[in-house]
């Protein structure tokens, strides 16, 4: 099983700041089958990034993903008020599919 | 518009069974793999099970293997999760999620339902 470790657990930032979220895998994620999801309180998760760096339909370009192998990053270039949420990474290349524990981006 | 509507959750005693359903619309259901993902109260996301477009490939998390069974009825555009021998630790909001392709693996989840709550307690 591929274990995904997200850091930090909580990120306290102000609107307009840059957010950098990390997702580290216990073994290589094949073909960069890594996705990022955003979840707000009381809502279902929403797909942001797939294949490590491809933005999903309708996702603003302030969201970007990078990385390969075992180290992946989600960057939000300038935080908007609606971006404060919990973010999860997921690998979907091998079974069992796994999610990271999440990073909460909160308003400082 | 893609819609995924889960149902069947509720309060159940430990050791009993429950069957969840997910009604899909707005896309060609039998072209896509489908998954169940759960979220315990205040916790993160946990993949539970997935099924390929034609039910040829199925996978389960170790935590539910042997107790849960995923299935689909393409004629009814529906996904199911039969949950047996339920435990307190199965208490969670269960989401139905659509994969972006037909296989069990190699496709991310592009649409999610709103979830159905399962509470296992005596």
DSSP letters, A28-44, are --GGG-EEEEEE-TTS-
Mean pLDDT of the region B24-52: 98
Give chain B's mean pLDDT.
98
Size (chain B), residues = 122
Distances (CA, A) of A48 to A3, A24, A27, A29, A64: 20, 18, 23, 18, 9
At A86 the pLDDT is 98
Mutate to test the interface with B, among A5, A49, A87, A97 (most CBs of B within 10 A): A97
Q: If we measure between CA atoms, which residue out of A81, A76, A97, A86 comes closest to residue A15?
A: A81
Q: Is the pLDDT score of B93 beyond 80?
A: yes
Pairing of strands B45-51, B34-39: antiparallel
At B5 the pLDDT is 98
Judge: B95–A95 Cβ closer than 8 Å, yes or no.
no
At A32 the pLDDT is 85
Q: Nearest Cβ partner of A102 from B44, B61, B115?
A: B44
- d(CA B75, CA B49) in angstroms, rounded, equals 21
At A30 the pLDDT is 82
At B105 the pLDDT is 95
- d(CA B117, CA A59) in angstroms, rounded, equals 28
- Which residues in chain A have their CB less than 8 angstroms from residue B37's CB? 45, 99
pLDDT digits (tens, 9 = 90+) for B66-86: 999 999 999 999 999 999 999
- d(CA B102, CA B107) in angstroms, rounded, equals 8
Residues of chain A with pLDDT under 70: none
> To which residue do tokens 């609107």 refer?
A15
Distance from CA of B33 to the nearest CA of A (A): 12
């Amino acid at each position: 099983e591929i274990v995904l470790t997200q850091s930090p657990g909580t990120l306290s930032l102000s609107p307009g700041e840059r957010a950098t979220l990390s997702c580290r895998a216990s073994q290589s994620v094949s073909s960069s089958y890594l996705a990022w999801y955003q979840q707000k309180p009381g809502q279902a998760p929403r797909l942001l990034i797939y294949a490590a760096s491809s933005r999903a339909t309708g996702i603003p370009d302030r969201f970007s993903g990078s990385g390969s192998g075992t180290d992946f990053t989600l960057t939000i270039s300038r935080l908007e008020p609606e971006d404060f949420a919990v973010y999860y990474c997921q690998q979907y290349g091998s079974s069992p599919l796994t999610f990271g524990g999440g990073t909460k981006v909160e308003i400082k | 518009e893609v819609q995924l509507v889960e149902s069947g959750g509720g309060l159940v005693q430990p050791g009993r069974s429950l069957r969840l359903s997910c009604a899909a619309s707005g896309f060609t259901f039998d072209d896509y793999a489908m998954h169940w993902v759960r979220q315990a109260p205040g916790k993160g996301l946990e993949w539970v099970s997935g099924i390929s477009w034609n039910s040829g490939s199925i996978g389960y998390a170790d935590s539910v293997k042997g107790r849960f069974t995923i299935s689909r009825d393409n004629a009814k555009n529906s996904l199911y999760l039969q949950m047996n021998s339920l435990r307190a630790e199965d208490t969670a909001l269960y989401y139905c999620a659509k994969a972006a392709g037909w296989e069990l693996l190699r496709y991310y989840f592009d649409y999610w339902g709103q979830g159905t709550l399962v509470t296992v307690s005596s």
